[in-house]
Homo-oligomer: A and B are copies of this chain.
Amino acid sequence: MRSITIKDIARLSGVSVTTVSRALNNAPEISEETQERVLRVCREQGYRTNLLARSLISSRSHLLGLVLPELANPYHASLSLNIELCARELGYQIMLCCGRPEKGQMKSPFDLLLSQRVDGILMASTSDSAYALPQNGPGGVPCVVLGACAAESTTARTNTVSVDNFMGGYMAAEYLFRLGHRNTAYLGLRPGSSTHTLRNQGFLTAARTLGMAVEVVENPDPSSSIESGCRMARQLFRRPGFCQTAVFAASDAVALGVIQVADELGLAIPEQLSVLGFDNIEYAALPNIRLTTISQNTPLLARSAVRLLMELIESGEDAVYTRKLVTPSIIQRATCRPLSSEEAPPA
């Protein structure tokens, strides 16, 4: 069944297509009377603008590409929804495209998106350099990377929005210090990941300033998982001189591992050990977990990214690159407790 076009509306209301177009777009040069009549016919006929045609002629599709990594994790789910919400409020639609660059014969997500003539691309990266960014040549569009590592973006020509990992680490140290902890451990440093390097640096910097001891445990695995958290926790707890009263885990996944091992070993949390995570994944809020953690503030992250992309699209600027850092916040739940004055001798 052919759908109704402005031509049909024009015929039915006895005006030209130009007039219909003007009525639909609230153009100033049209009489109210005509406009009303035309719009009424549109409503009666169930007319719907063909956005493909409009985009074609205006060379603006009001489409944003969203590239996600292949794995379904709750963090990206929340990110996507927030991005879609914000984009739609600003008059844009989201075109979804999940990772898997050039696996098999499939075209890369970017090619597809660019062919669809999206006005801009949002990319949520997990691994540090998973994709070659779309070149800003002909047909290139502005691109914003979410959660990128800061180390790279000092050299790469990329627009990025990410949580301030250094600040997060810093806040974590301050928080534990304020609770009275003087002997802490940092669990899960991965030197290969700039995200984690920054978290670690922030933590160590604050600790040094405040005079708080930190035992750093490196993560041998390529990613932060519950399992690697377990391994590191065992390693730490079994050390001869184990005396830490608080653990800062590089990610909530690691923290979950710590909690599990502590449970197995009969180490009470938070009575004998305080645990602080990073990310505020959904699991962290579960009633039998209640992990105190540093939150990434996904909604704000999403909004900032969409706003930035919008600005880039509207300005057409392609020579200046922006990096935005969103300040994290502490979500206090049940895994950290203050030390009493006897327990915490002044440093």
Residues of A within 8 A of B (CB): 1-4, 46, 48-53, 55-56, 61, 66, 68, 70-74, 76-78, 80-82, 84-85, 88-89, 93-98, 100, 106, 111-112, 114-117, 137-139, 226-227, 230, 256-257, 259-260, 263, 282-283, 286-288
Contact = CB atoms under 8 A, between A and B. Distances in A.
Which of A84, A227, A256, A257 gathers the greatest number of chain B CB atoms within 10 Å? Answer: A84
26 contacts: A2-B138, A4-B139, A48-B114, A50-B117, A52-B116, A52-B117, A56-B56, A66-B96, A70-B81, A70-B85, A72-B74, A72-B78, A73-B77, A77-B80, A81-B98, A84-B96, A84-B97, A84-B98, A95-B96, A227-B287, A230-B287, A256-B288, A263-B288, A282-B283, A283-B283, A283-B286
A62 to B, nearest CB: 9
Contact of A97 (B50, B93, B227, B263): B93
B77 A46 contact: no
Contacts of A84: 96-98
Number of copies: 2
A65 to B, nearest CB: 9
B288 A117 contact: no
B74 A282 contact: yes
Contact of A286 (B49, B95, B256, B263): B256
Which of A68, A139, A227, A230 gathers the greatest number of chain B CB atoms within 10 Å? Answer: A139
Contacts of A227: 287
Contacts of A98: 81, 84-85, 88
